[in-house]
A and B are shown apart, each in its own frame.
Chain A
Amino acid sequence: MYVAVKGGERAIDNAHRWLAERRRGDRAVPELSVAQVEEQLGLAVDRVMNEGSCFDPGLAALALKQARGDVVEAAFLLRAYRTTLPRFGYSEPVDTGAMLVQRRISATYKDLPGGQILGPTFDYTHRLLDFCLMAEGEAPAPAPEAPPEGDGTSPHVLSILDREGLMQQEEPGTAGERTADLTREPLLFPADRDLWLQGLSRGDEGFLLALGYSTQRGFGSTHPFVGELRMGEVAVEFVPEELGFAVELGTVPVTECEMVNQFTGSRSEPPQFTRGYGLAFGHAERRAMSMALVDRALREAQATGEATAPAQDQEFVLYHADNVQASGFVEHLKLPHYVDFQGELENIRRLRAMTAGESNAEAAQ
């Protein structure tokens, strides 16, 4: 009698125990603490918070540890937890202009009010493996500090162009208008900018990067400049119903990117610059920049009513940017499909029998 290939409960339990053992690795090596992940793998934590749509560095670090460093799996864990949290309201829009800037650069102006601040960046490092880290040497000496200029905030670079009237005017929001929330509403098309920005901010970084890159290579041509890239802490404010005014809940680190693109103008609008916008939790420049490129591509399509490149196609971008959905569906192919496959087997055998029957009949003639 054949042995069923169908798995049982015991198989699942044992597989998960094996997984737990693998996660721990060699017990002779000290166990990684969640605090160590949070402090020393901070950029992975930031990515998990973005793709997990939840700002909580501690939980993101826990998810990374539990997922054995698999970032998509960690984002999945964080999202599944986020689902169960009650929603008590929406914060006020954060004011990134009031950001306490740790890093702020512009590629469009050599110098500008507030200055160029490099901050903690990989830029201009030589990518040489540092074997000292392997030798577990002493902690690096603290970086030198300088007092902030003024109050530590800087005006947005694009406001300079804005004052000249060279920037396309953004549509002002109306008072009391709710922004879209695709974690609480189904994704419907056509999507407006608030919805797609939200979708992009939690999208897969690799996918965003590839889409953004594709616009630079001619698939939905953009000629972008980094008007400004800034990173630092912003205050999150909330208006409790019973108080009626905003109170600060705390601060979160964010990375914001504003891309400037030329728009040649139309019959109704003079030539001007348009904006692509990216915003992400933590220090996530690649994400924010890619997001800004894709945002600009989507705006182009919205303005012209024509999507000629993948990055301009709302449905293509928004349906496929979500890596938790994508990995789930790709990996579901591991589930048994033998009922459907049996249908295909029967089908292909019947079709082959029909073809064979026809050629036999031909041969007999």
Chain B
Amino acid sequence: MSAATNIDGGGTLAGYNFAYLDEQTKRMIRRALLKAVAIPGYQVPFASRDMPLPYGWGTGGIQVTAACIGQEDVLKVIDQGADDTTNAVSIRRFFATTAGVATTERTVEASIIQTRHRIPEKPLTEGQILVYQVPIPEPLRFLEPRERETRKLHALADYGVMHVRLYEDIARLGRIATSYSYPVLVNDRYVMSPSPIPKFDNPKMHMNPALQLFGAGREKRIYAIPPFTKVVSLDFEDHPFEIQKWDEPCAICGATGSYLDEVVTDDAGNRMFCCSDTDHCAERVAAGEGPGAGESR
């Protein structure tokens, strides 16, 4: 994979401001972002705009990215961990067209990474920004449909309902049966939805050197985890939080510690597993790693 590439060949879209949004709107979003950073895990209402991409397809993340991005930034966009999923391609193009910024598929090269459903496998570093696309920002939403009620619960730090829900899983099923959108407690204060990342990724949020920003466009909320913030996945002493494990390594790069996608290879029920993070996988292959590496071939 070559260095940063600009998909649409640079230049911004005629008739539109840099990164699509007007400067007043960006300032409004930045104010919300500052408040969000100041109160980690707290959902800040913001005047989300109608965007040219559909609600539920990353409008919150796009607005946050648009408010943060500058001409010098290098943008990476992933969906399901991969750079080449259609929606990631579409959003990357959106910024290549409207902001003319450099884009990359390499996690290490990116200054801003917009993501849906994953945190890259490669540890992020200071100065990087991870922008999450969030469908339902409210972790308590499926326990209490009304916003007025959930805001009250957050204000009172009344998170009993969430613990009861997790306990009910254990009582009924023997384990906590939440595999993604697994709720976390941020900075010992707010229970927060990590967006629908697999719980496998939850530990990466804790004390992460990068700035983590969350944008929910349709629900008009922004929240944040500043660098080096405590993020704890909710659990019980006798049922500690645990992450997914696979019995086999990635079929392409041989990785054992990464999140794997299951790919059905025929109609006889055969399947293989490979890294969901395509950059991580490609980097390992380039470095000579593979399913047979370390063994004689």
Contact = CB atoms under 8 A, between A and B. Distances in A.
Contacts of B143: none
B14 interface: no
Nearest to A86: B22
A324 interface: yes
User: Could you tell me the dominant secondary structure of chain A's interface residues?
Assistant: helix
Given A315-B145, A325-B218, A339-B259, A83 B50 contact: yes
B48 A186 contact: yes
* Interface size range of chain A in the complex: 35 or more
Interface stretch (A193-201, A213-221, A268-276, A347-355): A347-355
Contacts, number: 147
Interface in B42-100: 45-52, 54-57, 59, 79-82, 84-87, 89-90, 93
Contact of B174 (A80, A325, A336, A354): A354
Contact of B148 (A189, A331, A335, A344): A189
Interface in B150-195: 173-175, 177, 179-181
B228 interface: no
Contacts of A188: 45
A115 B145 CA distance: 48
B56 A328 contact: yes
A129 to B, nearest CB: 35
A111 B17 CA distance: 55
Given A12-B86, A328-B218, A347-B177, A79 B54 contact: no
A342 B135 contact: no
Contact of B175 (A12, A339, A340, A351): A351
Nearest to B116: A335
B84 A82 contact: no
A347 B179 contact: yes
Contact of A340 (B86, B90, B198): B198
Interface in A319-351: 324-332, 335-340, 342-347, 350-351
A317 to B, nearest CB: 12
A52 to B, nearest CB: 9
Given A7-B86, A189-B147, A338-B80, A345 B262 contact: yes
A11 B51 contact: no
Given A332-B135, A343-B179, A351-B173, A8 B84 contact: yes
Given A315-B148, A340-B179, A340-B196, A12 B57 contact: no
Contacts of B146: 315
Contacts of B206: none
A351 B218 contact: no
B263 interface: yes
Contacts of A76: 50, 54
A340 B7 contact: no
B118 to A, nearest CB: 6
B132 interface: no
A127 to B, nearest CB: 35
A125 B135 CA distance: 46
A339 B180 contact: yes
Contacts of A187: 220
B148 A343 contact: no
Contacts of B85: 6-7, 336
Interface of B: 7, 16-17, 20-22, 45-52, 54-57, 59, 79-82, 84-87, 89-90, 93, 116-118, 135, 145-148, 173-175, 177, 179-181, 196-200, 218, 220-221, 244, 246, 259-263, 265, 272, 276
